[in-house]
């Protein structure tokens, strides 16, 4: 399965707003660095000026400054693919640690020189395909076929680990998240077979890979929000 690495598996890396927070922001495949970047950008967009004035018999005073419009901030985060969910669903430190390790292992996989014949034209994260990658008209090469099966084995192992983590640590939504991953994997396997058979171009592969990723992410968010 070559849809993506960590993000293809609908990995939910949890970024806690605080130990006692009742709500937390989550996003499939995202980690602390991406959360901090999104938070900074959305805080900037949500800034609004305010002013107050007090008048009494002794005179008056005025003050002003900037404050964060929480509605605008939340809309910005959601537009970036983040969802606000109950902390109780994702607060397990063990859960977060397992997910982080899988993400780290996935990124390391993308950097392995032996898999360059694949990652030279397919992005590590399926959502990040460039215009050039989406319009690539080349087809499977002998060099790619030689590495596909080995890469598939490693990616399947990552998927098995994330499925197991969801089922073990997320009593409320783990089963639904695991099934979502397994369904995406089934679609990924069909796509891989079509590419291996030379039926589709790299560009077509990357487009459909991206669509599967986005669909899987959207379903993971829906599950976490209880929609």
- CA dist 196 and 192 (Å) reads 6
pLDDT digits (tens, 9 = 90+) for 181-226: 999 999 999 999 999 999 999 999 999 999 999 999 889 888 888 7
Spatial strand order of the sheet with 83-86 comes to: 12-15, 23-28, 83-86
Closest CA to 10 of 150, 166, 187: 166
Task: Report CA Rg, the chain.
Answer: 22
Residue ranges per domain, the chain? 7-30+82-225
CA atoms within 13 A on the CB side of 171: 3
Range with lowest mean pLDDT among 31-35, 121-125, 200-204: 31-35
More confident residue, 149 or 88: 149
pLDDT digits (tens, 9 = 90+) for 77-120: 888 888 887 765 556 788 888 888 888 898 899 999 999 999 99
């Amino acid at each position: 399965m070559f849809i993506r690495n960590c993000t293809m598996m609908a990995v939910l890396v949890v970024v806690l707003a605080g130990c006692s927070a009742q709500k937390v922001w989550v996003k499939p495949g995202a980690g602390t660095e991406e959360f901090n970047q999104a938070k900074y950008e959305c805080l900037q967009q949500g800034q609004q000026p305010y002013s107050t004035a007090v008048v009494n018999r002794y005179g008056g005073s005025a003050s002003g400054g900037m404050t964060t419009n929480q509605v605008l901030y939340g809309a910005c985060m959601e537009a970036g693919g983040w969802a606000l969910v109950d902390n109780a669903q994702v607060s397990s430190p063990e859960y977060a640690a397992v997910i982080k390790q899988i993400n780290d292992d996935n990124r390391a996989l993308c950097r392995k020189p032996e898999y360059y014949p694949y990652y030279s034209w397919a992005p590590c994260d399926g959502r990040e395909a460039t215009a050039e990658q989406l319009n690539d008209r080349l087809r499977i090469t002998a060099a790619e076929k030689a590495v596909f099966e080995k890469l598939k084995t490693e990616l399947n192992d990552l998927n098995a680990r994330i499925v197991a983590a969801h089922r073990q640590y997320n009593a409320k939504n783990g089963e639904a998240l695991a099934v979502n991953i397994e369904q995406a994997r089934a679609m990924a396997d069909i796509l891989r077979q079509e590419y291996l058979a030379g039926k589709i171009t790299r560009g077509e592969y990357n487009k459909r890979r991206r669509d599967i990723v986005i669909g899987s992410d959207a379903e993971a968010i829906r599950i976490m929000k209880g929609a």
